[in-house]
Amino acid sequence: MTAGAMAAVAAGGYLLGSIQFARLVFAARTPGEPPVLIRTPTKDREAELVSHAVGATNVMIAFGPRWGMLVTFLDMAKAFVPVLVLRLLFPDEPYALVCGGAVLVGHLWPVWYRFSGGGGNSSILGMLLAVSPVGAVVTHVGGMVLGRLMPVLAFVAGVALTIPWFWWRDGLGSPEFFFAVFVTVVYVAGQLPEAVRMIQLNRQGHPLDTAHVMELMRGAARTGRTGAEVAEERRRGTPAE
């Protein structure tokens, strides 16, 4: 392992991660218009939290589940393929882990879009499937279980659980353990703007309606409609069948 090779892997991973498939879909389907942002209202409907991220969820809400699943698959693939290839070519070197971490950084903060990228969940799942398929399933299922108890932790829990997983599987000082710590810290850093705003709204007496976006996503996935159509049906009191 050389510093030059490590830098090349990191740079390549960042460039791959910075490919924003969600923004490309928006540019192709609604040229000249800004992407649809995720807006989570407060329970009293007096304020809202606007997410800076543009990813598969935005696409599904705007264009329906098929487009959302396409972006999810592509975001997973851009992490899964290079990480898997590097693991197969260099099984005794940490190149794959460095690449995975760099892909996440590029996805969250792409230089081409003023460092405003996606949420990172699909890319993290893709790289985990390449590094530890069983771990990917265990951590994300665990995250979903915790998310049912505390919806606000639904996504971050699945990422954070990679730390105890790789600690148990590979040891406290292993490259995989430090990879899990790095990915978790970077992921949490990417969510900080929304987390800070959510805390501010709570302190002002405006708790978020955290179930709102999830209901739109479930409705869109169940009916094949866009999130906007589902929201309009909910507003009229005629939920989608």
The pLDDT tens digits for 41-90 are 888 788 888 888 899 989 988 888 899 999 999 999 999 999 999 999 99
Give tens-digit pLDDT for 97-111: 999 999 999 999 999
**Cα-based angle 70, 73, 79 (whole degrees, multiple of 5):** 145
Q: Is 143 within the bounds of a domain?
A: yes
Kindly state the percentage of the chain with pLDDT values over 70.
84
Which residues are 132's β-sheet partners? Answer: none
d(CA 216, CA 59): 12
Which pLDDT score, from 0 to 100, does residue 194 have? 82
Q: Is 190 within the bounds of a domain?
A: yes
Q: Quick one: average pLDDT of 108-115?
A: 93
Residue 67's domain comprises 3-236
Which pLDDT score, from 0 to 100, does residue 109 have? 96
N- to C-terminal Cα separation, the chain: 56
Kindly report the pTM of this predicted structure: 0.85
Q: Quick one: average pLDDT of 215-230?
A: 56
DSSP 30: S
Q: Quick one: average pLDDT of 169-173?
A: 94
Q: Is 127 within the bounds of a domain?
A: yes
Q: Is 136 within the bounds of a domain?
A: yes
Q: Is 195 within the bounds of a domain?
A: yes
Q: Is 94 within the bounds of a domain?
A: yes
Going along the chain, which residue ranges are E strands? 39-41, 48-50
Count up the domains in the chain and report the number.
Answer: 1
Secondary-structure breakdown of the chain: helix, strand, coil percentages, each rounded to the nearest 5: 70, 5, 25
Mean pLDDT, the chain, whole residue set = 86
Q: Is 241 within the bounds of a domain?
A: no
Let me know if 40 is exposed, middle or buried by CB neighbors in 10 A (0-12, 13-18, 19+): buried
Q: Quick one: average pLDDT of 137-162?
A: 82
Give tens-digit pLDDT for 172-222: 999 999 999 999 999 999 988 887 887 888 888 888 776 666 666 665 555
Q: Which residue has the higher pLDDT, 157 or 163?
A: 163
Nearest by Cα to 79 from 51, 105, 116 = 105
Q: Is 154 within the bounds of a domain?
A: yes
